[in-house]
């Protein structure tokens, strides 16, 4: 972490903010020695694209970083109608704090074109993709320009589940469920993939003391993060009956900062696209009961205290 010999890791954050997406973006922005954000690409997911691209810009401005380039991407999943999650995130997707409308511009270029151009302009294996929503933009870029796949250093994504199974249907996690065809393309692409499934994020719970630690930073960022996590707590605590709501997407950025916070298995993960009952399921061969080739580092556990300490410390930089 913050090793001055190591150049900052170049990443593209692909996202559908979403309060937990917002916290992930803030964690990356609070870690400039470790992470260089090449751009933020918005995708339809938690709420429609018009809101996710706007929310991404609001978050950059909250962090005092209007220079970050934000691109709008896919409005719809590859093959099905969009499913959104206002019941979790509120009608803006970022309900909780009162944030001003953004004044920084949205880039003209389409997010998928930005991803393709950026990867083409970098040497092989040097850009990390951080998808925090449905995988539509990433799959579209891989479909249109398969030559860029070798440019990917790693895809670190939030999505799927094995032991926790599903949160939007009994069998599927939201990000994969919204666009399983896209997920299938990404999981079959051949790039190194690290997955933060619900099995990890359901252990990253924003308890009262963790929420207080955000608020006690006393900064606009700390207070906004406390208000965001307060908002979705109302829904999730009732749903899960736990002491706090899971904070999903920041685990992706935390992994880049300190991979030792996580443990998992390198296994085969396939995406169910056909069954009406289990569409969007991540069929993870956790017990290695098939001969299918491993294609993903599928995380199963997190040092939750270490994760929240890292998050709070980095938010304090903003
Ligand atoms: C995922 O779905 C969204 O609601 C969250 O932002 C997260 O990316 C969790 O299933
Ligand atoms: Ca998300």
Q: What is the pTM of this model?
A: 0.97
Hey, which of 249, 251, 252, 282 would you mutate to test ligand 1's pocket, going by the most ligand atoms within 8 Å of its Cβ?
249
Is residue 72 over pLDDT 70? yes
Query: CB of 199 closer than 6 A to ligand 1?
Result: no
Question: Which pairing describes strands 245-246 and 205-206: parallel, antiparallel, or unpaired?
Answer: antiparallel
Query: CB of 46 closer than 6 A to ligand 1?
Result: yes
Question: pLDDT by residue (tens digit) across 17-51?
Answer: 999 999 999 999 999 999 999 999 999 999 999 99
> Which residues are catalytic, by number?
248
What is the mean predicted confidence (pLDDT) over 62-85? 97
Is residue 2 over pLDDT 70? no
Return the ligand 1 atom nearest residue 158 CA.
8
Helix, strand, coil percentages in the chain from 3-state DSSP, rounded to 5:
40, 20, 45
Q: What percent of the chain has pLDDT over 70?
A: 98
Query: CB of 248 closer than 6 A to ligand 1?
Result: yes
Hey, which of 44, 47, 159, 169 would you mutate to test ligand 1's pocket, going by the most ligand atoms within 8 Å of its Cβ?
159
Look at residues 1, 8, 93 and name the one whose alpha carbon lies nearest to residue 44: 93
Question: pLDDT by residue (tens digit) across 168-214?
Answer: 999 999 999 999 999 999 999 999 999 999 999 999 999 999 999 99
Q: Going from the N-terminus, what domains does the chain have, and what CATH number goes with each?
A: 9-315 (3.90.245.10)
Question: pLDDT by residue (tens digit) across 237-283?
Answer: 777 777 788 999 999 999 999 999 999 999 999 999 999 999 999 99
User: What is the separation of C-alpha 175 from the centre of its chain, rounded to a whole number of angstroms?
Assistant: 9
Question: pLDDT by residue (tens digit) across 133-169?
Answer: 999 999 999 999 999 999 999 999 999 999 999 999 9
Measured in Å, residue 201 CA sits from the centre of ligand 1 at 10
Q: Is 288 left (phi over 0), alpha (psi -120 to 50) or beta?
A: left
């Amino acid at each position: 972490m913050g090793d001055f010999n190591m150049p900052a890791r170049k990443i593209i954050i692909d996202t559908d903010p979403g309060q937990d997406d917002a916290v992930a973006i803030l964690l990356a922005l609070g870690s400039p020695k470790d992470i260089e954000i090449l751009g933020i690409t918005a995708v339809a997911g938690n709420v429609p694209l018009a809101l996710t691209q706007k929310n991404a810009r609001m978050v950059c401005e909250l962090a005092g970083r209007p220079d970050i380039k934000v691109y709008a991407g896919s409005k719809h999943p590859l093959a099905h109608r969009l499913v959104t999650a206002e019941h979790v995130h509120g009608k803006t997707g970022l309900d909780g704090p009162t944030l001003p409308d953004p004044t920084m511009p949205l880039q003209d270029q389409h997010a998928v074109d930005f991803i393709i151009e950026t990867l083409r302009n970098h040497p092989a294996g040097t850009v990390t993709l951080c998808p925090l929503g449905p995988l539509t933009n990433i799959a579209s870029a891989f479909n249109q320009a398969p030559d860029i796949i070798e440019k990917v250093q790693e895809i670190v994504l939030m999505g799927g589940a094995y032991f926790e199974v599903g949160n939007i249907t009994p069998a599927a996690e939201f990000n994969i469920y919204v666009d399983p065809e896209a997920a299938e393309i990404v999981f079959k692409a051949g790039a190194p993939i690290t997955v933060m499934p619900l099995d990890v994020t359901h252990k990253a719970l924003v308890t009262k003391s963790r929420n207080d630690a955000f608020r006690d930073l006393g900064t606009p960022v700390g207070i906004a993060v406390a208000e965001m996590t307060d908002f979705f707590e109302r829904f999730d605590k009732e749903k899960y009956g736990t002491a706090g709501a899971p904070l999903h997407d920041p685990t992706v950025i935390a992994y880049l900062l300190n991979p030792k916070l996580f443990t998992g298995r390198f296994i085969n993960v396939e995406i169910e696209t056909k069954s009406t009952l289990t569409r969007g399921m991540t069929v993870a061969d956790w017990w290695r009961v098939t001969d299918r080739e491993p294609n993903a580092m599928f995380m199963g556990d997190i040092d939750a205290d270490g994760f929240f300490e890292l998050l709070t410390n980095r938010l304090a930089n903003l």
